[in-house]
Copies of this chain bind each other. A is one copy, B any other.
Amino acid sequence: MQVSLEPRPRGFHLVTDEVTAGVPDLNRIRVGIAVVFMQHTSASLTLNENASPDVRRDFAAWFDRAVPDGADYFQHTLEGPDDMPAHIKASLTGSSLVLPVRDGRLALGTWQGIYLCEHRDRGGSRKLLVTAFGESGR
């Protein structure tokens, strides 16, 4: 199932509701998994704390320091100073989330939410492909 995330500014964004709204079929699965896959190389997905916006801001603070825009050792610079860091940040966080499904819902921990990690200044809309399966029988 394809889910299109609306464009967001560079940073880390909580998108749990947007993802689950795009996958109504989950409610037919009693025990299974959902694979949420990002079809881009300069944005990525991770699970983290779903309550405080400070946490998401601090993610950006750390990643922007760890992989600096326009570092002088990058050669792939034609697409802008945020491009090569975006690729590296995407691989540090990852393209897929593999989530347990129980009784028709994502079985996340209490504090877990899905983050869209948007690493480009103007990334635009991002496409996810969700594959869910397991035993039905609800």
Contact = CB atoms under 8 A, between A and B. Distances in A.
B87 A33 contact: no
Contact of A95 (B41, B47, B127): B47
B96 A93 contact: no
Contacts of A32: 131, 133
A55 B35 contact: no
A37 to B, nearest CB: 5
Task: Report copies per complex.
Answer: 3
Most interface-central of A84, A93, A102 (chain B CB within 10 A): A84
A16 interface: no
Interface in A81-99: 84, 87-88, 90-99
Contacts of A97: 95-96
